[in-house]
Amino acid sequence: MVFHQLQASDRHEHTATQENMQAISYSYTSAISKVSRAKAANYVQVQTDEQIEGTFTIDPELCVPSWMLPSLQPGRGTTRTHLFLESKEKSVDGLIHLVHSRTTLEDSPVPTRTLLEVTAYRGVTLDIFPRSPYSCNHLRFRLKVVVEWGNIVLRIPPDFHGPIRYTTAAAQARFSLGVREKMLVLTQKSKTGSCFIGEWAQPEGEDAVWTGDEIEVTSTSDYSSHKISFTLSGETDDE
């Protein structure tokens, strides 16, 4: 098992980086031992055959020296993912904190989205914790999840605002009550679906590019008993 759970007295102080290192990126391709408490990280890349389990605190604006950056993913050009997790044979179970290191966001430039990507063979469970109201607009994210076999369980922050798209071979998509109350269904077919969570944002034109929150999920499992589940983070009643 790749174990990435970091111990701290406060749950919100967990991180995914090595002790006493601040603006850090790291890349692993084999088993990972338990990591000590430290600060937020950026450009985290974990690829392994083992299970990935742990808490990851990501600050997308932490500056990382080029010599510490992981290799670019094939076919991505120069685009780097702020958090990339891949378990080729097992599952991924992660808690994700998105944080901002700035002391002020006034007059700051238009932010780019935090890019998150998670791929696993035997299922994915992710909990993306609520963002601070102070920095929410500067911590919009795009999450891509791909699973070959098993369930996909996503707990999204209550302030999520944007589209969700899913493609499935046989797994059934389900949305909790909290999500359904915020949801506008756009398309619903046997193997694909899309919806918008939050107040509908009228696009400025047909070619307008969405820059807010976004989730794209793909399940290739041919078992109809497998599920794709969307729940609000912290929601207790997911029916």
Higher pLDDT, 236 or 233: 233
| pLDDT at 139 exceeding the cut of 60 | yes
- Rounded Cα distance between 155 and 157, Å, is 7
- Rounded Cα distance between 182 and 88, Å, is 34
Q: How confident is the model at residue 130 (pLDDT cuts 50, 70, 90)?
A: confident
Q: Kindly state the helix (H) or strand (E) to which residue 177 belongs, with its residue range.
A: helix 177-180
> Where do the DSSP E strands lie in the chain?
2-4, 26-28, 44-48, 52-58, 83-87, 92-98, 114-120, 124-128, 141-147, 152-156, 162-168, 172-175, 183-188, 192-197, 214-219, 227-232
Q: How confident is the model at residue 36 (pLDDT cuts 50, 70, 90)?
A: very low
- What predicted TM-score, i.e. pTM, was given to this entire model? 0.81
Q: How confident is the model at residue 1 (pLDDT cuts 50, 70, 90)?
A: low
